[in-house]
Amino acid sequence: MCIWPVKQEDRHCEFCSYRGGCEKYIVHGLTDDHLKEDIERYSKIMVDIAGVDIMDRSRDRAVVWARNIVFYKLRADGYSLQRIGRFMNYSHCIVLYGSRRVEEMLQYPSMYSEEISLWNKFQKFIK
């Protein structure tokens, strides 16, 4: 559902079948090209530090946590759940769940020692 109060024929953004660039994304300057570049960059970083491809559909623990960390970082960068999901071929629900898992991990670091070390390595590479 579109956040803009407009008629059905004039709705904004892909979820509302608008035929142009949504004003909501243009205001923040977050284009699809920026999202693609960020996903590729973060994916390469995860291959370097963890040896996993986040674009792989595997449910292996290492791949899932690497993917969740990327979901969380992209959300922190300001991208919407729907856009992240669309570009990574996942539902926005999976993106939201993965992001929340990382928030939980950061809240209780003693329970997630392996994942915290991956997070710390990732943080070093993106700076």
Which CATH number goes with the domain that contains 48? 1.10.1750.10
Model pTM score: 0.78
29-42 burial code (b ≥16 CB/10 A, e <16)? ebeeeebeebbeeb
Range of the domain at 5: 1-30
Task: State both tokens at 91.
Answer: 């539902």
Asked if residue 5 and residue 18 are part of one domain, the reply reads yes
Q: How far apart are CA 60 and CA 76, in angstroms?
A: 24
Asked if residue 35 and residue 15 are part of one domain, the reply reads no
Task: Report which of 74, 57, 54, 69 is spatially closest to residue 115, judged by C-alpha positions.
Answer: 69
Asked if residue 39 and residue 91 are part of one domain, the reply reads yes
Query: Is 108 within 8 Å of 75 (Cβ atoms)?
Result: no
Q: How many domains does the chain have?
A: 2
Query: Is 92 within 8 Å of 105 (Cβ atoms)?
Result: no
Asked if residue 62 and residue 20 are part of one domain, the reply reads no
Percent of the chain with pLDDT over 90: 69
Residue 32: pLDDT band with limits 50, 70, 90: confident
Unique residue bearing structure tokens 């996903």: 39
Please determine, for residue 98, whether its predicted confidence score (pLDDT) is greater than 60.
Answer: yes
